[in-house]
Amino acid sequence: MEITNVMEYEEIAKKKLPKMVYDYYASGAEDQWTLKENRNAFSRILFRPRILVDVSHIDMTTTVFGFKVSMPIMIAPTAMQKMAHPDGEYATARAASAAGTIMTLSSWATSSVEEVASTGPGIRFFQLYVLKDRNVVAQLVRRAERAGFKAIVLTVDTLRLGRREADIKNRFALPPNLTLKNFEGLDIGKMDRANDSGLATYAAEQVDRSLSWKDVKWLQTITTLPILVKGVLTAEDTRVAVQAGAAGIIVSNHGARQLDYVPATIMALEEVVKAAQGKLPVFLDGGVRRGTDVFKALALGASGVFIGRPVLFSLAAEGEAGVKKVLQMLRDEFELTMALSGCRSLKEITRDHIMTEHDRPRVAPRL
C-alpha cells in the first residue's frame, strides 16, 4: 500500500511495535482530551486564499537563529527512539540533515549527543531536562556544545510527569537492552520496572521540581548557546521568558502528555505571539500532521513548527526512509497550500489568509 499522508504511518507503527512501546509514544495524559484537541483545533481554522497570484516559484526557506533551513518544519525532541527502530536517533538525525532541517535530540535519548554528531553534518538542538544534580546538567550542556549542537531547548512543563494511564497499566520501562545514553556512566542511564510507570518513577527521582526562572538565568551563565523555552502556553509566561533573556519560545503542551485540558497549542499560539511582540521567535509543537497545519501556524505568527509523533511512527514503520518521507510529504503539502493560498514566500503568509472561530465575520450580512 502506498503511503499518501503522515497519519497512515501511525497504523503501521501500531501493528509493528510492542503494545507497551506504541502506547508510550501514542498516549496522552488522563482523559486525553488535549491529545484529541491538538488535532481537532486545526480543523476549526479555515483558509482565505488569494487567487491569481503568480506562484510559479515558491520559496519555503527560512532562518532559525541565523541557520538557514529548507522549510519551517523541524523535528521535536522525542525520547527513546531505539524502541521504535534499532537505528533510533541516528536515523532521525540523518533524515533531518538530508531534508535540510533541524533535529532536536532528547535528553532521554537512546543515543548520545556524541553518537548523533557522528552521523555527519546537520543543524541540531539539544533538549534539556534540569536534573537535581546541577553538575550533570552542566556536563550535558558542555557535551552538547562540544558535539556541535546549536541551541538548548529547555523543557519547562515537566517538573513532574503527567499521569499517562497506559504507561501505568503497562508498567512502562525502557527495554533492558537500551539505555538513556546521555546518562550512561553516571549511574542514571537505566530505568527499572516499577509498580506504576517506570518513567514516572525515574523522573520523580531525577528531575528537579524546584526549577524556576532563576535557573534559566543560571543556564545562561554556563552556555553561550541560545536557550529556547519549551512548554509556554500563556501571555504571562511569554513576557517573563522575554525578560529572562530566552532566545525563543516553543508553544507546547508536551504532546498532551502533561496537564490535560490545557488548550491545543494552535489555540494558545496567537496569545503567545502577541505577548512576544516580535522580541523573540515563537515556534509551535503539537498536533501537526498536514502541510495545511504548518501554514495555519505560520499565519498565526509562528516562525516554524516542530513534529514529534510523526517521526516516531514513520521511524517504526520504515526507519530513516520513513522519517525522510514524512518530512517530504509535509514539505510538499505545505508548498501546495502556499501556492493555493497565493503565497510565494513565508513572509507573504499573513493573518488574513486564515479565519478562526474567534474572528468576526468580515462582511456584514445583507438584511
Tell me which residues are annotated as active site. Answer: 254
State the alpha helices, DSSP H only, in 118-197.
134-146, 165-170
Q: Are 41 and 287 in contact (CB under 8 A)?
A: yes
Per the rule left: phi > 0, alpha: psi between -120 and 50, beta: everything else, 274 is alpha
* 83 secondary structure, DSSP code: G
Residue 220 burial (10 A CB sphere; 0-12, 13-18, 19+): middle
Q: Cα–Cα distance between 67 and 161 in angstroms, integer?
A: 33
State the alpha helices, DSSP H only, in 47-112.
88-99
Q: What is the DSSP string of 188-254?
A: -S-----SS-HHHHHHHHHB-TT--HHHHHHHHHH--S-EEEEEE-SHHHHHHHHHTT-SEEEE--G
CA distances for 359 relative to 44, 202, 266, 355, angstroms: 11, 45, 15, 6
Q: Cα–Cα distance between 346 and 326 in angstroms, integer?
A: 21
Q: Are 16 and 316 in contact (CB under 8 A)?
A: yes
